[in-house]
Amino acid sequence: MEEVRAFKRSLESCEASVGILRNTVVPGMSEQEALTILLKESICRGGEYPETRLLTSGPRTNPWFQETNDRVINNGDLLSFDTDLIGPMGLYNDMSRSWVVGDAKPTDQQRRLYEI
């Protein structure tokens, strides 16, 4: 039962960190700045460290598995990432998320890519 509570706490920490990122990332921010938000929020909730740096935007979202760099995120860019966070008590959280940054509507191509 303790393991279940520990895992639940770790997942809740990760989900909260992703939520803060979602509400904070804006056009004009670099990928590195966005990743910093995710990592800071995780650590503030008892997380330990990231296993990877897989947060990319725009044309860098494909092919997958590129590391975060200093690319500036534009309005309407797709932002994609794996959390890959070692959360509280050393438990691993691997969630993949994608969304469109800013106030632009997703393009038909972005919708197709998201479905895939």
Average the pLDDT over 14-24 and give the result: 97
22: domain CATH number is 3.90.230.10
Compute CA distances 4 → 14, 18, 51, 76, 95, whole Å: 15, 21, 22, 39, 18
Asked if 54 and 67 count as a contact pair (C-beta separation under 8 A), the reply is yes
Mean pLDDT value of segment 26-33? 98
pTM over 0.85: yes
Reading phi first (left if > 0) and then psi (alpha if -120 to 50, else beta), residue 65 is in left
The pLDDT tens digits for 59-114 are 999 888 899 999 999 999 999 999 999 999 999 999 999 999 999 999 998 898 88
Domain of 62 in residue numbering reads as: 2-115
pLDDT, one tens digit per residue, over 94-105 is 999 999 999 999
Domain count, the chain: 1
Cα–Cα distance for residue pair 21/18, rounded to 1 Å: 5
